[in-house]
Amino acid sequence: MNMTRGALFSMLNKNRYLWGFAALLCVYVCNLGIDIMEIDAAQYASISREMQESGSYLEVYHRGKDYLDKPPFLFWSSALSFQLFGIHNWSYKLPALLVLLIGIYSTYRFSRLWYDEQRSRVAALVLASTQAYFLMTNDVRTDGLLTGWNMLAIWQLAAYLHSRHWRHLFVAAVSIALAMMSKGPLGLVLPGIALGGHLLLTRNYKAIFDYKWLLMLMMVALLLLPMCIGLYQQFDMHPEKEVYGLQGPSGLKFFFWTQSFGRITGENYWQNDSPVYYFLQTMLWDLQPWVLLFFPALIWVLWLLVKDGLRLKHLPEGFSVSGFVLMLVVLSASRYKLPHYVFPLFPFAAIIVAHFLYTLQEAKPALLQRVGNWFLAFQVSFILAAMAVATYLFPLKEWWAWMLIIGMGFLAYHFRKTLQGVEAIVFPVIFIAGITGMVMATAFYPALMAYQSTNTAGRWAQVHAPDADGFYFFSKGGHSLDFYAQRTVPQIFDHQLDTLQQETFIYTGVAGLAHFRSNYDGKFEVVWEAPDFTVSRLNFSFLLPNQRDQAVKAAYIMRWQPEETVH
């Protein structure tokens, strides 16, 4: 028995990195099946479905109208996934997950150019276990694509500095183009800032003026041509169009300037005037469970740079600190901020944390042990409290999820007892993060999404009202209504009701039902009712089980029967 136990523990320790990544991958896979959340992700999924149906890939439309906001790569990739696998939650999210995995691998390979194997593996694990990564595999927007493609570009740019091989510039050009087609010019700005900062910190002026950078940019421009042609044909050739209140907008100007830089200059109408420290606040959750280590690590890195006269004397590379700090300043200058805008900087944060921990181990192992004990005590307390709260709010019912969580808990305990130094801190925290992710993916989010009635109404329509003219929405709608009905659900107004046929179904909310009862009593029948809440705007009244009924409204599907009285 002792030999068997010893062999098991030896196998676990030998394959510890594999177990760590496998635990996090379990969370990612569980996230794929969660329903798609309003507003942004549901809109993007709906546009992707519409693109796959219409075959219009260069000109993007939403509900049959011109769409001018996000670049098309998310829609292209998801539409292709729908074509291959059908329209599902997981097929919408799958392309983003694959790109995010590329981002993790690129973080590792970039780190190996400058750091040892241990630092590189830990950096990849730290990135993969952040709450941001869990969120990007669930609530799929454009930031996950930007994160993955940008990190691939930065790895290839750094590899070019080492080898001067053209293939690295070619892959960098492709990844930059894909990043730009995912999120706009930020796909070029972020790797440019990281690379430029590194070259300035190393005083490598010769590399700054390398003519091959221009050739790489020409390759990027060539790869952007299909998207640019689509924008030009859809908007620039039609000055008579009005989109989002803009008369005759230039699609090219909007993509290359207004959508990104216009948020700094004020030209973009999206403004929420968040404070300059906004992202420092949001990182307190999004960079969990590493945020308490990251801030001292960042201060340490900046102190080294200042002490060394802004030169890389004690740091192997300048990509990470330049990419994080300078890009954070740029993003903080925007007049419109959302938490996920900073996620593409987290690969740099992961590298900084990994280097800080191993440097501390080498210089002051006793201090590392004290820091590790304190950090682990906090994380264990945090996860126990979070699980208690989460299971109180939305109980975890899946037995297999409980088995995975118990297994992760065992691995966290085992690695804490058997590993040494940095790994004795990192691996328990990895599995603690995995437990948090599993609770969110298998209990919290599935229960939460049950209150987004547009999802369930859309599924109902797909089964019970499959005809194109057999289902409408009145007063209340949603992007996921289209996605789950697998068609564009038209809106109906009062003056159009007389044109509806018998047995037509109408989705609406509380206000819409009250309107029908006041004006069309006897001409409709409620055939479906579901709880309804805007799940992207949580509040305590909704979260507390004993107050939830007061916060939740209802949504309805009505059968329209104008020629007979409904009893």
CA 215 to the chain's CA centroid: 32
Rg (the chain; Cα; Å): 26
- DSSP letter at 220 equals H
Helix (H) or strand (E) holding 508: strand 504-509
Query: How many Å apart are CA 293 and CA 286, to the nearest integer?
Result: 14
Where are the alpha helices (H) located in 308-336, listed in sequence order? Answer: 319-332
Residue type present at position 363 = A
> Residue 565 has what pLDDT?
47
Query: How many Å apart are CA 255 and CA 231, to the nearest integer?
Result: 9
> Residue 524 has what pLDDT?
87
Q: Buried b vs exposed e over 293-321: b needs ≥16 C-beta within 10 Å?
A: bbbebbeebeebbeeeeeebeebebbbbb
Burial tier of 274 (Cβ tally within 10 Å: 0-12, 13-18, 19+): middle
Residue 58 structure tokens = 């260069």
Residue 68 structure tokens = 């001018």
In tens, the pLDDT along 228-278 reads 999 889 888 888 887 777 777 888 888 888 777 666 555 555 555 677 888
> Residue 467 has what pLDDT?
83
> Residue 264 has what pLDDT?
59
Q: Buried b vs exposed e over 531-566: b needs ≥16 C-beta within 10 Å?
A: bbbebeeeeeebeeeeeeeebeeebbbbbbbeeeee
Sequence spans of domains, the chain: 35-255+275-361, 375-447, 453-560
Query: How many Å apart are CA 241 and CA 289, to the nearest integer?
Result: 48
Name beta bridge partners: 555. 509, 530
Selection from 50, 105, 109, 48 nearest residue 79 by Cα: 48
- Between vectors from CA 186 to CA 347 and to CA 45, what angle results, nearest 5°? 85
pTM (2 d.p.): 0.92
Query: For 306, phi and psi rounded to 5 degrees?
Result: -65, -45
Q: Which residues contact 347 (CB under 8 A, 6 or more apart)?
A: 103, 106, 107, 110, 123, 127, 147, 151, 154
> Residue 560 has what pLDDT?
86
> Residue 567 has what pLDDT?
45
In tens, the pLDDT along 69-98 reads 889 999 999 999 999 999 999 999 999 999
Contact 103, 153 (CB under 8 A): no
Query: How many Å apart are CA 72 and CA 44, to the nearest integer?
Result: 10
User: To which residue do tokens 């959750």 refer?
Assistant: 285
Per-residue model confidence as pLDDT tens for the chain (567 residues): 455 877 877 888 888 999 999 999 999 999 999 999 988 899 999 999 999 999 999 999 998 888 888 899 999 999 999 999 999 999 999 999 999 999 999 999 999 999 999 999 999 999 999 999 999 999 999 999 999 999 999 999 999 999 989 999 999 999 999 999 999 899 999 999 999 999 999 999 999 998 999 999 999 999 999 999 998 898 888 888 877 777 778 888 888 887 776 665 555 555 556 778 888 889 998 998 999 999 999 999 999 999 998 998 889 999 999 999 999 998 888 777 788 889 999 999 999 999 999 999 999 999 999 989 999 999 888 888 877 787 778 877 787 888 888 888 888 888 888 888 999 999 999 999 999 899 889 888 998 999 999 999 999 999 998 887 889 999 888 899 999 999 999 999 988 888 888 789 999 999 999 998 998 888 888 999 999 998 888 888 888 888 888 889 999 999 988 765 444
Helix (H) or strand (E) holding 532: strand 524-532
C-alpha pair distances (Å), 473 with each of 36, 351, 387, 461, 476:
19, 49, 38, 11, 6
